Structure 1
């Protein structure tokens, strides 16, 4: 196959010179934190107003409130830690497991009984996220270690 200077295979690759690109992981964690925060407010409002019409057990309502509160607090933590993918992963997993399992168990304890052990695992992930922030370099992006 003959090639010449007009071949598309030899055209120079155009470089984006508009400025530095955003760190995709940081952007993803920021957006994830914002979405988790918005859903925490919505789920908290539902728990305070709509859920009481369907569930009368005060312990279940308290669990729902705890789930929404922890989700909201850790949504803000995820925004703060958006440049730290390790802490961000721990916070995301922790909110999903901790708050998610509490929401599910509140709605249907029998159906979601298997999620009971997930709640403390989510709590451990939340703690790990805070410890990752505590022992990481302040303001520096941390990366997963290569294996």
Structure 2
């Protein structure tokens, strides 16, 4: 599952870049500290789930679990969760368009589903 390791590493690296970008380049651009905090939340959840994807890649390369389809689905859920959850928060933080917050919970639900899949994969 080299692809999962690479994907997780790219997303983690992008999380570092976006964190630094928000802290420095956008520092004075946010309408209020509230939006800076939203940006930080997006970065945190992106990083957590990038590390989750890396962990799944490592576990998937272990002969004990092999390439479980549940783990593959967990990675897909984490990836799409990052896009929906963190992506919508990034855009919300920069634009202030609150309607974007309506899709954020979809990303959160995908994160939950991903972790449930990781939990049940060893027993399937």
Please give the range of the TM-score, normalised by the shorter of the 2 chains. 0.7 to 0.9
Q: 1:122 aligns with which of 96, 107, 114?
A: 107
Task: Determine if the alignment matches structure 1 residue 103 to structure 2 residue 87.
Answer: no
In the alignment, what sits opposite 2:67? none
Q: For 1:43 and 1:71, locate their aligned partners in 2 and report how far apart those are by CA, in whole Å.
A: 10
Task: Determine if the alignment matches structure 1 residue 74 to structure 2 residue 49.
Answer: yes
- Give a deviation string over 1:113-138, Cα, whole Å, max 9, x none: 54322100000101111111111117
Task: Determine if the alignment matches structure 1 residue 37 to structure 2 residue 22.
Answer: no
- What TM-score do you get using the length of structure 2 for normalisation? 0.83
Q: For 2:78 and 2:30, locate their aligned partners in 1 and report how far apart those are by CA, in whole Å.
A: 29
Whose helix proportion is higher, 1 or 2?
2
Runs of 5+ unmatched residues, structure 2: 61-70
Task: Determine if the alignment matches structure 1 residue 131 to structure 2 residue 116.
Answer: yes
* SS class of match (2:27): helix
- Give a deviation string over 1:81-136, Cα, whole Å, max 9, x none: 123211101111111110000001111123xx543221000001011111111111
Task: Determine if the alignment matches structure 1 residue 57 to structure 2 residue 32.
Answer: yes
Q: For 2:120 and 2:109, locate their aligned partners in 1 and report how far apart those are by CA, in whole Å.
A: 16
> How many equivalent residue pairs?
112
Q: For 1:117 and 1:53, locate their aligned partners in 2 and report how far apart those are by CA, in whole Å.
A: 26
Q: Aligned-pair RMSD on alpha carbons?
A: 1.6
In the TM superposition, structure 1's runs of 4+ consecutive aligned residues that sit over 4 Å from their partners are none
Which is higher, the Rg of structure 1 or of structure 2? 1
Shift of the alpha carbon at 1:56? Answer: 4.2
Runs of 5+ unmatched residues, structure 1: 1-25, 143-147
Higher RCO (C-alpha 8 Å, min separation 6): 2
